[in-house]
Structure 1
C-alpha cells in the first residue's frame, strides 16, 4: 500500500491585539511628518517717532545679530492719529537653534509659566512688561523701561505646501498643531508650567 506523505503544516504566528496597538503606536512615533517643531520666534514692539527708535534699540539689544524690521500702518485711524504708511512698530524674527535659545531665555523672564489662554492652534503669544526681567539683561539708559511681545509659531513638515506660489496645495487639518500638542511640547522641552484655563461653573 502506498502511504500518503503528510506535509508539515505551518501555523501563522498569532498576533495579539496589544502587539498590534504597540506596533502602530511605534510607527506613528517614528513618522517624521508628525513631529512638532518651532518654526520661528517673533519679537515685536510698538512706538512712533522717538518711542519707535527706543523700540528698535530694545530689539537690537535683545537680538544683536539681527536688524529689526520696521512695521508701517496700512489703515487710517483718526482717533489715534494713525495714517497709512506711518511707522508704528518694529519686529525681529529668529529661526533654528538661535530661536530655541532665545525662547528659553524669554521664558525665564516670566518664571517659565504660561496661561492656557495664551496658546492657540499653531502658535502662542506672551508679553514681557520690562526687559530687565529677563535673566542676564541689564538696564539701558537709552532704552529706558520698555516691554515687548513674543510670538512663537509651531509647525509640522509639509507646511510649505500651502505657501508655494506655483502649484499651491491645501494643508491637511491633521498637519496643524493643536493646543494640547503645544502644551506637551513646552512641558517636554522647556519644563514650562501651564496654568489651566478657568472653567465657567454652572449656577
Structure 2
C-alpha cells in the first residue's frame, strides 16, 4: 500500500524564490561623500548604482529638494543569490527575527562595508555603512504589478514571516535570533 503522506508534495505555486536585493547608502549630502558611496556600492554589487534624491528641503541639514543624497542598486537573479551569501557572511550568518516584515521581506544593515567578504579597505573611500532589503516572491505574484487587471495576492498565498525564515534558513543556512 502506498503511503499517501509521501505522495503529497508541496505545490509548485508555493515555491519561494528571491525577487531582488536592494543595497542602499544614504549619505545625506551630494559631492564627495556621494561619490565615495557610489564607488563602494559598485565594488560590492558589480553594478552601476543610481542616485536617490531628496524629497523635501531640510534647511537645518542643508539639504535641498531634488538634490542627490544617496545611492542604491538593485540586484536580481543569480548575482543576487551570490551577493546574499556574502552579505549574510558579513552578519555572521545571523539575522534578527524583527528584521522580517509581515510579507516575508527582510531588511538589515551592515555598519562597515569592509565586513563583506571580497571587499577591501580603500583609504580614499573610508568606511561606509549600508542598508539591505531582500524581497521574496512566489509564482503568481506578478498579478500585483501587471499593467492590466491588477489584483491582490490571496491570504493563503502571501509569504509569511515564518515561511521566509524557514526558506532563508534552508537555502542559506542563516540563524534567526
Q: What TM-score, normalized to structure 1? A: 0.80
Q: How many residues align?
A: 174
Structure 2, unmatched stretches of 5+, are none
Aligned match of 1:33: 13
- 1:93 counterpart = 2:93: no
Root-mean-square deviation (Å): 1.9
Aligned match of 2:53: 72
Give the conservation status (yes or no) of the 8 Å contact 2:24–2:131.
yes
- With a CA cutoff of 8 Å and minimum separation of 6, indicate the structure with the bigger relative contact order: 2
Selected match of 2:64 from 83, 94, 101? 83
Could you report, residue by residue, the CA deviation over 1:49-77 in whole angstroms, capped at 9, with x for unpaired residues? 2111111111011122x110101122233
- Structure 1 moving runs of 4+ over 2 Å: 75-83
SS in 2 for 1:89: strand
Q: What TM-score, normalized to structure 2? A: 0.91
Selected match of 2:123 from 125, 131, 141? 141
Aligned match of 2:112: 130
- Of residues 89-98 and 134-143 in structure 1, the stretch that sits farther from structure 2 once superposed is 134-143
Question: After superposition, where does 1:94-173 map in structure 2 within 5 Å?
Answer: 94-120=75-101, 121-173=103-155
Distance 2:164 2:136 in 1: 8
